[in-house]
Structure 1
Amino acid sequence: MVKYNAEMAEFRLKYPTWAQDVDIPKETLTKTAALTAGDIGSTDLALAPTAKVAKVDKKFKNLFNKVVKLNPAGIKEAGNEYKYFYVLTYLPDLQWVQLGPLVKNGVFGSEKSSVEGRSKWVLVPEEENKEVDITASVCEIVRARGMKRTTDADDEEWDIADVMLSPLRRKNGDAKMKVSATLVPHKILSHNTQVNAASTIGFKGMNDNHSTRDYAPRGIESPSVVIRETVFRAVPYAKEGQGWKTGSITILDV
């Protein structure tokens, strides 16, 4: 614990601009600095003036072992070379993280049937020195899951489900997110029927009997993209001479 406190004191001195200003007594700093000097070999800290240290925000995000992306402030600071990162190190009391960028490395095969055909994300090799040290406040958690379940992050492979940017393609049975929408027909059925909307709304090539634009869901952002890249499952009903009723559309998600 003594070593940890000493490391925290050294970190706060090294990055004073990251923290809100809070005065601490000079004797407290001198005592901590003396412990640091004896523990990790630093002699300059014992002569440091009164320091400014960070207030600890108790309402922090849990970023341990998470995949994240940067908000606009983070992109401005770290650049936009990479979209997604894995949290390599997280210090919650300082709200500081070290991030390892993720890149695509092929796609998952049939051995991972639930994500077959989806992009495989891996860490950039450590020797490229692409890690990013940044405040945790600019990190936004992304829905993702490790597919190898290994204890070494360098060997892990992730499936990233950033649904607004990359609509998912999933097999029946993997659905977990539901969105209500109104089905608007361009033509009326002439007989009583119950239809699986996957064959009616579907995307091009899913069912030759219906055009992609025969029926369109309302209330979903960029429906043309969603319809093209996302499988829908629903059970709308129709009576003779009537159109579709409001149905529940299931977007296949992780």
Structure 2
Amino acid sequence: MTATQKPEYIHLSEEDLKLLNSPIGLKYLFLDRKTDIEKALRMTKYEIKLKELQAELIKLQNWTIENKKKIVIVFEGRDAAGKGGAIRRITSHINPRHFRIIALPKPTSEEEGQWYFQRYINQLPKPGEMVLFDRSWYNRAVVEPVNGFCSEDQYTRFMGQVNDFERMILESDIYFIKFYFSITKEEQASRFMDIKSSPLKKWKMTPVDERAQELWDEYTAYKIKMFERTNTARSPWVIIEADRKTEARIKAIQYILNTIPYQE
């Protein structure tokens, strides 16, 4: 700092100071070599809020089990948008015997000969269960046509059937939520760089991921078509701005709790 520069001061309320002096606050204050008070405060508030919402998710699950309700939540979005991280926060404290995370691999030769929705129907919840799709049948709306994994006829057939398929889900007394995690091109590039440079994360990069930046505009075009055709009054898309992962996770959990009419 030069003689002419003034030091920057951060105004902290009494509540802020109390949070920073809590065990969670102290953890974030000393997490990095260089102390970032604003970041530590933001992360402390995030973790406290997250724990509150996770406690509510336990109540929601208990209600689901006791009343034999069925829940389906779809997570879509570009590669590295944070879908998996959000799912992990949603499920980290609920009973693993009563939820499933579905991330289906490439279809087998037998499945390729079936009705497209068949293998997803096989994964729908039984009474008292929550099923979370980490990518879903909407692969055929965006990822497959962009990367040449389906024909134009297959794409057109899917777009003509998907709304009726979801209507049948809703009419089967299933609570149904569709999330789309939205990130900017710059944020995706930054996350890819982080993944590639980390020995613990680089396994996540796939050939499809490698081309995501190059095909950004093609993904955008198909995404717009998907929204125009499948954002219905009964089954709307919930768009989560996800450049900041912590805020995206909180928004997704809050939407689930506000939408499903559980009772303690």
Task: Report 1 or 2 for greater relative contact order, CA contacts < 8 Å, sequence distance ≥ 6.
Answer: 2
Q: Which has the larger radius of gyration?
A: 1
TM-score, structure 1 length as denominator?
Answer: 0.24
> Greater strand share, 1 or 2?
1
> Greater helix share, 1 or 2?
2
TM-score, structure 2 length as denominator?
Answer: 0.23
